[in-house]
A and B are shown apart, each in its own frame.
Chain A
Amino acid sequence: MTAVAMTVNGKAVTGDVDPRTLLVQFLREHLRLTGTHVGCDTSQCGACVVHIDGKAVKSCTTFAWQVQGANITTIEGLAAPNGPLHPMQEAFREHHALQCGYCTPGMIMAAVDIVQRKGNDLDEKTIRHELEGNICRCTGYHNIVKAIAAGAKTMGKGA
């Protein structure tokens, strides 16, 4: 077993885990933050995307001990507790950018990362290209792309 310590959604957390424990397992099974999903478990689908020190990463392809001391943000930590939804979450709701919802947490975490890297004015081509690592099997992506463009704009207004 190995001791891990990191900050998750602004809170210092620790755990004693098998070295094989992936970050996504640590989040879901030890911290009970089940918003982060495991889809493919092969780093293809992006359902497990979280932010490590502000950058989108697939938490199914990272050992928990690799992010010792890091700052992790999951879908649960995107909006302030008991506050309104994050603008990107709100945009997904507004544009009906989900059907079954399984890919949604990863989509939203990836979307926020895209805005951080590419700015608030995103065209469709950019969004589709940047979403290469996130797979949705229901929506056909159209509403996801619309939601990300809208969410990016709202984020720019400092909402």
Chain B
Amino acid sequence: MYEFKFHRPTTVRQAAGLLARQEEAKLLAGGHTLIPTMKLRLAGPKHIVDLSQIEGISGIEMKGRSLVIGALTRHFEVATSPTVKENIPALAELAGLIGDPAVRHRGTIGGSVANNDPNADYPAACLGLGATIITNKRRIAADDFFKGLFDTALEPDEIIVRVQFPKPNKAAYVKFPNPASRFALVGVFVSKRGSEIRVAVTGAGASGVFRVTSFEDALKKRFGVKSLEGMTVPADGMSGDIHGSAEYRAHLIGVLARRAVAAATA
């Protein structure tokens, strides 16, 4: 690991100031991506800005028809929160599928969303529920937020403070985990909110999380498994590696989408 200096600001404004002033500064939330990456020397930030001392960016509440989750909220808290379970049970289930219990005690929603790992679960939930990412500067629709592999719309001194999820009528997430890493080999999040249908896929896209509009159109006619019968996604644009070819991943999208719709309508 390369040497670094660390900072523990107590406000988001201080943290943003540090990001703007210090060259090669990185935010630290749960640290379960950043620290392993630093060990491998794939990241070598000169400054680490630890968010753990900032009050008011953790916690879960319903605001009107939306579930609002603070950026520093741990996966364990989302997975076990009665508020999440009551309003968007699919989101609680998704959080409970991330990593393992010890990882869920540290990892945060803000960290996962900001990192935008192409195999992470939360980006699928954000896109699949039409979430809004709230930063220290603005509100960004999930549709505009995820830009590609590990790339987001965040500016260098921009910090996620909350994620807002509109409450769906129906939703489900089905994940085919890589048995070693428990990251999603493919994961599909489906939701229905009024006439808005979303099908979001993580793990498969060569450019990260994406929506399957052909599936969404089919589900608009009728939100049921039958609407997706025989439907496929082309392998073009899918990622392939030792864990699964592009064709295999494309196939899984159809299978998991049908399972997700079945779960959402059960």
A residues whose Cβ falls under 8 Å from a Cβ of B = 2, 18-20, 22, 41-44, 46, 49, 52, 55-58, 61-63, 65-66, 110, 113-114, 117, 130, 132-134
Contact = CB atoms under 8 A, between A and B. Distances in A.
A92 B160 CA distance: 44
Interface of B: 1, 3-6, 28, 31-32, 35-36, 39, 48, 50, 52, 76, 99-103, 105-106, 180-182
Interface of A is mostly: mixed
A42 B25 CA distance: 22
Given A20-B1, A66-B50, A42 B103 contact: no
A58 B182 CA distance: 16
B38 to A, nearest CB: 8
Nearest to A54: B105
B102 A46 contact: yes
29 contacts: A19-B3, A19-B48, A20-B4, A43-B35, A43-B103, A44-B181, A46-B100, A46-B102, A49-B102, A56-B102, A57-B105, A58-B102, A58-B106, A61-B32, A61-B36, A62-B35, A62-B106, A66-B50, A110-B102, A113-B101, A113-B102, A114-B101, A130-B101, A132-B101, A132-B182, A133-B99, A133-B101, A133-B102, A134-B100
A47 to B, nearest CB: 11
Contact of A63 (B35, B76, B182): B35
B100 A42 contact: no
A66 B52 contact: yes
Contacts of B99: 133
B4 A42 contact: no
Given A19-B4, A55-B76, A133-B100, A42 B39 contact: yes
A110 B101 contact: yes
Contact of A19 (B5, B103, B105, B180): B5
A130 to B, nearest CB: 6
B10 to A, nearest CB: 13
A56 B105 contact: yes
A119 to B, nearest CB: 13
A19 B6 contact: yes
Contacts of B181: 44
B31 A62 contact: yes
A41 B35 CA distance: 10
B76 to A, nearest CB: 7
A43 B36 contact: yes
Contacts of B182: 132
A57 B31 CA distance: 12
A61 B35 contact: yes
Contacts of A130: 101
B207 to A, nearest CB: 26
B101 A61 contact: no
B18 to A, nearest CB: 15
Contacts of B35: 22, 43, 61-63
A65 B35 CA distance: 13
A69 to B, nearest CB: 11
B39 A41 contact: yes
Contacts of A134: 100
B31 A66 contact: yes
Contacts of B31: 61-63, 66
The 8 closest A-B pairs by CB, nearest first: A133-B100, A132-B100, A55-B105, A56-B102, A58-B102, A20-B1, A61-B35, A133-B102
A89 B139 CA distance: 50
B202 to A, nearest CB: 19
A41 B1 CA distance: 12
Nearest to B181: A44
A56 B104 CA distance: 9
Contacts of A62: 31, 35, 106
Interface centre among B35, B101, B182 (most CB of A within 10 A): B101
A61 B105 CA distance: 12
Contact of B101 (A41, A43, A117): A117
